C-alpha cells in the first residue's frame, strides 16, 4: 500500500484513480476519431456493458482477523515469475491517441514489470518496442494474415526480437460492426496508423512491390506513378510518425501499402487445421486469444497450446456476445486446472482482478484503461493506471484476509 500512502501524503497521481472518472476525462481529452476508435464497442454496446455487469454481479466475502500483515502479489505464468497477475492487452493503432504510443507504453510496462502484449497492428516496429522494453518481458500478438509467408516472417521477427510468447487473436478475422467508427467513416488504419509491423516487414514490402508491379503491367501507368511515391514514403517511415504519415498519405492518393494491409491483415478462413501448423512454425509458446466457448477451449488444449486468453475483445466484435468473465468458469472446467488462462475484457480495478482469479483466471489483461492513461499523461499516465490497479489489488487482498494472489479461489466469492 505504498502507493496509497503516497496518495494520502500528497503525491497526486497523473490520472484519476477511479476507473469511471479516468474514462470520462480521457474521453473528453481525445479527438473524436480516437474517442470513437478506443471507446467504441460492437453494435449497441450490449457486450461492453455485459463485461462490466459480470464483474459487478460477483461479490467478495472478506474474512477478518487473519493476522496477516503483507501480501504476495506474484504469480507464475508460462513458467515465468511475474510481480503481479497483470498484463497489458494488445492495442492496435494506439497512435491515434499519442505520438510514440507503443514506445511510451513499453517503457511504462517495463518500469512496472508488467508484460506487454505487443499488437500486430502496433505503431512502432516490434524491434523498436523491444528495444524500449530493454529486456522486460513481452509477447507478440499475431493476426493471421492471408499471406502465409507474412505469418512466418512476423513469427520469425518476434522470435528474433525476444518475444516470450505469441498470442494468436482468433476473434477478429473481420472487424466487428462498430457504429462509432462507421459513422465517422474512417478507421486509424485507413490513414496509415497501426501498420508499422507491416511496413517494416520484408515480406510485406515484397507483397506491396508485387502489387504495384501488377498494376503497372495492367497499364494503369499514372496511378502507378503516384502509388510508387506513396509506397516509397510509407516504407521509408518505419517508425511511428502518425502526423507525417497522414500527410504523406494525403498527398499520395492510391495508398498502396494501406490497401494491401486492409486486404491481407486477417484471414476469415482461419481454421483449426491452420492453427495446428503453428507449433511447427515457431519455437515460441502459443496462446490463443478470443476463446469464449468451452469446446473451443478443449480444442485449443488438444492442440497443445501453452495458454488461452479468454476475451471478447473488449466487446468490440460480437454485440450480444457472452461476457468474458461469464465465459471463464465453464472454460476452466473444460480445460482443467493446469491450462494457463488469461482473462480480459472489462477489467478495471484491483477488485476485478481478484474476482477474475476467483473465477479461474491465472492472470488478467487490461486494455482501454492504459490507453486512457496514455491519452491523459503519456508514459506516466500508463504507469499510474497500472500502479493504481496493483495498489487496489494489494489492498483488496489485504482487506479480504487473503495472503497471496495464488491463494485466491472460488471460496472468496459469495456462493450463488
Which residues, 6+ apart, have CB-to-CB distance to 282 below 8 Å? 155, 158, 159, 166
Report the b/e string of 341-361 with b at 16+ CB within 10 A. bbbbbbbbbbbbbbbbbbbbb
Q: Does 311 bind ligand FNR (CB under 6 A)?
A: yes
Cα–Cα distance for residue pair 320/49, rounded to 1 Å: 10
Q: Does 344 bind ligand FNR (CB under 6 A)?
A: yes
Q: Convert residues 49-88 into a mask of x (bound to ligand FNR by CB under 6 A) and - (unbound).
A: ----------------------------------------
- Supply the minimum distance, in Å, between the C-beta of residue 56 and ligand FNR: 14
The Cβ-side half-sphere exposure at 349, using a 13 Å CA radius, reads: 17
Q: Does 313 bind ligand FNR (CB under 6 A)?
A: yes
Question: Which of positions 277-296 make contact with ligand FNR (CB under 6 A)?
Answer: 289
Closest CA to 266 of 300, 317, 303, 306: 317
For residue 307, the cross-strand partners are 287
Q: Does 367 bind ligand FNR (CB under 6 A)?
A: yes
The stretches of 44-136 forming alpha helices (DSSP H) are: 46-57, 101-112, 126-133
Total residues at the site for ligand FNR (CB under 6 A)? 22
- Supply the minimum distance, in Å, between the C-beta of residue 375 and ligand FNR: 11
Known active-site residue 411: no
With CB atoms as reference, the residue minimizing the distance to ligand FNR is 367
The stretches of 218-323 forming alpha helices (DSSP H) are: 221-236, 242-251, 256-264, 272-276, 278-281, 294-303
Residue of 80, 241, 293, 313 marked active site? 313
Q: Does 121 bind ligand FNR (CB under 6 A)?
A: yes
Residue 121 or residue 233: which is nearer to ligand FNR going by CB? Answer: 121
Among 15, 91, 207, 376, binds ligand FNR (CB under 6 A): 91
The DSSP symbol for 406 reads G
Cα–Cα distance for residue pair 254/251, rounded to 1 Å: 9
Residue 155 or residue 402: which is nearer to ligand FNR going by CB? Answer: 155
Interface with ligand FNR by CB under 6 A: which range of 24-32, 230-238, 300-308, 339-347?
A: 339-347
Q: Does 307 bind ligand FNR (CB under 6 A)?
A: no
Closest CA to 106 of 96, 97, 117: 117
Interface with ligand FNR by CB under 6 A: which range of 60-68, 145-153, 309-317, 351-359?
A: 309-317
Task: Report CA dihedral (357, 360, 366, 369) to the nearest 10 degrees.
Answer: -60
309 in the Ramachandran plot: left (φ > 0), alpha (ψ -120 to 50) or beta?
beta
- Supply the minimum distance, in Å, between the C-beta of residue 345 and ligand FNR: 4
Catalytic residue set: 313
Q: Which residues bind ligand FNR (CB under 6 A)?
A: 37-38, 89-92, 119, 121, 141, 169, 289, 311, 313-314, 316, 344-347, 366-368
Amino acid at each position: 500500500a505504498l502507493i496509497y500512502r503516497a496518495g494520502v501524503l500528497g503525491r497526486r497521481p497523473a490520472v484519476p484513480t477511479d476507473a469511471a472518472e479516468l474514462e470520462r476525462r480521457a474521453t473528453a481529452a481525445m479527438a473524436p476519431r480516437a474517442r470513437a476508435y478506443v471507446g467504441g464497442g460492437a453494435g449497441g454496446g450490449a457486450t461492453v456493458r455485459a463485461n462490466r455487469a459480470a464483474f459487478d454481479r460477483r461479490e467478495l466475502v472478506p474474512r477478518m482477523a487473519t493476522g496477516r500483515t503483507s501480501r504476495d502479489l506474484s504469480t507464475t505464468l508460462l513458467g515465468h515469475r511475474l510481480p503481479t497477475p497483470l498484463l497489458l492487452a494488445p492495442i492496435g493503432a494506439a497512435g491515434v491517441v499519442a505520438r510514440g504510443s507503443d514506445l511510451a507504453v513499453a517503457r511504462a510496462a517495463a518500469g512496472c514489470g508488467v508484460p506487454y502484449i505487443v499488437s500486430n497492428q502496433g505503431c512502432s516496429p516490434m524491434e523498436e518496442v523491444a528495444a524500449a522494453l530493454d529486456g522486460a518481458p513481452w509477447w507478440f500478438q499475431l493476426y493471421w494474415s492471408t499471406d502465409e509467408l507474412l505469418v512466418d516472417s512476423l513469427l520469425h521477427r518476434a522470435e528474433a526480437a525476444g518475444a516470450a510468447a505469441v498470442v494468436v487473436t482468433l476473434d477478429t478475422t473481420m472487424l466487428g460492426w462498430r457504429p462509432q467508427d462507421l459513422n465517422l467513416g474512417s478507421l486509424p488504419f485507413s490513414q496509415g496508423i497501426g501498420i508499422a509491423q507491416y511496413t517494416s516487414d520484408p515480406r510485406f514490402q515484397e507483397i506491396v512491390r508485387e502489387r504495384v508491379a501488377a498494376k503497372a503491367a495492367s497499364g494503369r501507368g499514372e496511378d502507378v506513378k503516384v502509388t510508387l511515391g506513396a509506397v516509397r514514403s510509407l516504407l521509408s517511415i518505419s517508425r511511428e510518425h502518425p502526423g507525417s504519415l497522414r500527410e504523406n498519405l494525403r498527398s499520395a492518393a492510391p495508398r498502396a501499402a494501406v490497401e494491401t494491409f486492409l486486404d491481407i491483415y486477417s484471414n476469415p478462413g482461419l481454421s483449426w487445421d491452420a492453427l495446428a501448423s503453428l507449433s511447427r512454425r515457431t519455437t515460441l509458446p502459443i496462446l490463443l486469444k478470443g476463446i469464449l466457448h468451452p469446446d473451443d477451449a478443449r480444442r485449443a488444449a488438444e492442440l497443445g497450446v501453452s495458454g488461452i486468453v479468454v476475451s471478447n475483445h473488449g466487446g468490440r466484435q460480437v454485440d450480444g456476445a457472452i461476457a468474458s468473465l461469464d465465459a471463464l468458469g465453464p472454460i476452466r472446467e473444460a480445460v482443467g486446472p493446469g491450462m494457463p488462462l488469461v482473462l480480459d475484457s472489462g477489467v478495471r480495478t484491483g477488485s476485478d482482478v481478484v474476482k477474475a482469479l476467483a473465477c479461474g483466471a491465472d492472470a488478467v489483461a487490461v486494455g482501454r484503461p492504459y490507453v486512457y492513461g496514455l491519452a491523459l499523461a503519456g508514459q506516466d499516465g500508463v504507469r499510474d493506471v497500472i500502479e493504481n490497479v496493483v495498489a487496489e489489488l494489494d489492498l483488496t487482498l489485504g482487506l479480504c484476509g487473503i495472503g497471496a494472489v495464488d491463494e485466491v479461489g472460488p471460496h472468496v466469492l459469495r456462493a450463488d
